[in-house]
């Protein structure tokens, strides 16, 4: 076994509607990451590509091989990682395994997705194909799971509808400060509450957009990182877990069991507790998921996360800034890229390169969710001591 | 046509059925949930539906009590004005969404008929 795993550097493309196709997006982020760290392509032993559905979206498969060729990484080992929307987080897990096992001394992870050339209805159907056939035949979508859960949460915990709008307002505000975010416009609570219904009681501003984009991270043992840079971070904890495929079979629909399990494992590995985390990127594909993950990770008691959104604790100037990047809600959600981009935001926060959205942080957490909590990875990073 | 749930060796019931229960027990019998009434746990009306799906599409999670063991099912409803706690019963529908219009082929393993929930 080798020593601790370092994140040596990272990059992300502009998220939004892009002319580039999947291979070009992946190459853009991967090339920038190598340039940022000064690592030569021939030093890369392993390449992981996080991607959910390039075959379904644009008929392009084999993207890991294509990227290895495009970046001059041949004959590095390459592998595509698909864990639906959690593909990026699963890529972080795979990269950590590759370094920690000693199989690789330099692992490049690139996540990406090209989606906007499809209509929203088509993209929704591609994503809904992850559901069980007994769910799919009813026309269920991921947004409708969010509507079902949000109604139960608001009723069960007496939470005001405005608290969900506050999540959207906060994340749009943060996105204004992120030059790579898809949406860089502020919204008000009133605008969020007056927007069109998508899955009652949730409305348009409760949902992330359809997005193109890519992000990359470079991993190596800490001893190797010392040779390249002074400003790396340590990936001190990583955990992964699954929940039931069929969402309605879960005992408590408002508890994200896989978030509980994956974050417990990450905290145990890092030797940290929720109170030790200074900044977090949570998978706010829908506003309700920010509350459910805060509670499952241990940042709030069950049914109480909405209070923290209302009192401003999760804003950039609060005690626990959540989604300083703008989150999936504002930054965008190119499926395979999102988990990698979450990790990149935590990296930037810990090395002090987050610009206008910089917070004071020694430890950060990224939680990446696939499906409606079906499969989850949690990563904890710490600033170099 | 039945709304087939599985009862497992460990006494638990699931809809749909699986080769094993959550704790790994094997199935021992099937139960037709269409013979029962259930209670709405939560519901939503989706207005952004995929190709071939009715719009709007009201969906509910319904909990059934089968001899003291609870089992839940997701399905569409026959009305849009649903309430939590409402008692409903499954009614058979020949075509829940238009076959082959979305990502899944019409002649593949995906079933297209099933049950929607109707207030009692």
The DSSP code sequence of A113-181 is: E--TTS-HHHHHHHHHTTS-HHHHTTT--HHHHHHHHHHHHHHHTT--HHHHHHHHHHHHHHHHT-TT-
Q: What integer pLDDT is reported at residue A1 of this predicted model?
A: 42
Partner B contacted by A143 (CB < 8 A)? yes
Task: Give the torsion sign (CA, B7, B12, B13, B15).
Answer: negative
Within-domain flag for B100: no
Within-domain flag for B109: no
CB spacing of A126 vs B41 below 8 angstroms: no
Residues of chain B with confidence (pLDDT) below 50: none
Domains of chain A by residue range: 5-118+210-228
Q: A41 — phi, psi (to 5°)?
A: -55, -35
Within-domain flag for B107: no
Q: What integer pLDDT is reported at residue A3 of this predicted model?
A: 81
Q: What integer pLDDT is reported at residue A385 of this predicted model?
A: 79
Within-domain flag for B104: no
Query: What residues contact residue A12 under an 8 Å CB cut-off, 6+ apart?
Result: A29, A180, A213, A214, A215, A216, A337, A340, A341, A344
Q: Assign domain A5-118+210-228 to a CATH class.
A: alpha beta
Distance from CA of A329 to the nearest CA of B (A): 17
Picking from B22, B47, B60, the nearest residue to A198 by CB comes out as B47
* β-bridge mates for residue A343, sequence order: none
pTM over 0.90: yes
Whether the predicted interface score ipTM is above 0.90:
yes
CB spacing of A199 vs B46 below 8 angstroms: yes
Average pLDDT along chain A, 385 residues, taken 10 residues at a time = 86 98 98 97 98 96 98 98 98 98 98 96 93 96 97 98 98 98 98 98 98 98 95 97 98 97 98 98 98 98 98 98 98 98 98 97 98 98 92
Picking from A128, A135, A148, the nearest residue to B44 by CB comes out as A148
- How far, in Å, CA of A122 to CA of B87, rounded? 34
Q: How many domains are there within chain B?
A: 1
Residues B1-22 have pLDDT tens digits of: 789 999 999 999 999 999 999 9
Partner B contacted by A148 (CB < 8 A)? yes
Within-domain flag for B105: no
CB spacing of B96 vs A137 below 8 angstroms: yes
3 state SS of A221: strand
Q: Which residues does chain A have within 8 Å of residue B50's beta carbon, measured at their own beta carbons?
A: 121-122, 124-125, 128, 139, 141
Which residue in chain A has the smallest CA separation from B113?
A: A137
Picking from A133, A140, A155, the nearest residue to B84 by CB comes out as A155
Domain, as residue range, for B41: 4-95+114-119
Taking 3-state DSSP, the helix, strand and coil percentages for chain A, each rounded to the nearest 5, stand at 45, 20, 35
């Amino acid at each position: 076994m080798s020593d601790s795993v370092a994140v040596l550097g990272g990059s992300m493309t502009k998220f939004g509607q892009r002319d580039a196709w999947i291979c070009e997006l992946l190459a853009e982020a991967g090339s920038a990451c190598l340039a940022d760290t000064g690592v030569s392509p021939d030093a890369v032993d392993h390449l992981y590509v996080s991607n959910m559905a390039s075959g379904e979206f644009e008929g392009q498969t084999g993207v890991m091989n294509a990227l290895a060729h495009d970046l001059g990484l041949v004959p590095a080992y390459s592998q595509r990682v698909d864990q639906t929307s959690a593909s990026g987080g699963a890529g972080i897990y795979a990269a950590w395994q590759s370094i920690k096992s000693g199989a690789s001394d330099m692992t490049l992870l690139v996540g990406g997705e090209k989606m906007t050339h499809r209509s929203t209805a088509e993209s929704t159907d591609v994503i809904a194909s992850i559901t069980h056939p007994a769910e799919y035949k009813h026309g269920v979508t991921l947004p409708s799971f969010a509507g079902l859960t949000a109604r139960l949460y608001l009723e069960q915990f007496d939470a005001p509808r405005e608290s969900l709008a506050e999540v959207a307002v906060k994340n749009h505000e943060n996105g204004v400060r992120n030059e790579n975010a898809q949406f860089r416009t502020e919204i008000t609570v009133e605008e969020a509450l007056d927007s069109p219904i998508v899955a009652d009681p949730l409305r348009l501003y409760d949902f992330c957009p359809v997005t193109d984009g890519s992000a990359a991270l470079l991993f190596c043992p800490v001893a190797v990182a010392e040779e390249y840079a002074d400003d790396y971070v340590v990936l001190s904890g990583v955990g992964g877990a699954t929940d039931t495929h069929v969402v309605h079979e879960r005992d408590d629909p408002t508890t994200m069991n896989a978030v509980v399990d994956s974050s417990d494992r990450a905290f145990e590995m890092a030797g940290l507790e929720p109170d030790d985390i200074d900044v977090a990127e949570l998978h706010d594909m829908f506003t309700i998921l920010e509350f459910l993950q805060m509670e499952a990770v241990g940042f709030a008691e069950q049914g109480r996360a909405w209070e923290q959104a209302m009192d401003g604790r999760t804003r950039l100037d609060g005690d626990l800034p959540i989604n300083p990047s703008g989150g999936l809600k504002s930054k965008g959600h190119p499926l395979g890229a999102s988990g990698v981009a979450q990790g990149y935001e935590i990296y930037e926060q810990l090395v002090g390169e987050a610009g206008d959205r910089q917070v004071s942080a020694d430890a950060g957490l990224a939680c990446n969710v696939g499906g409606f909590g079906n499969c989850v990875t949690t990563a904890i990073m710490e600033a170099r001591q | 046509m039945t709304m087939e749930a599985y009862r497992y060796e460990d006494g638990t019931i699931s809809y749909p059925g699986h080769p094993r229960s959550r704790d790994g027990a094997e199935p021992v019998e099937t139960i037709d949930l269409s013979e029962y009434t259930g209670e709405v746990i939560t519901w939503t009306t989706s207005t952004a539906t995929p190709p071939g799906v009715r719009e709007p599409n009201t969906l509910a999670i319904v909990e059934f009590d089968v001899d003291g063991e609870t089992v839940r099912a997701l399905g569409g409803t026959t009305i849009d004005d649903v309430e939590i706690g409402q008692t409903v019963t499954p009614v058979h529908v020949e075509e829940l969404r238009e076959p082959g219009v979305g990502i899944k082929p019409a002649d593949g393993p995906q079933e297209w008929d099933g049950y929607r929930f109707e207030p009692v």
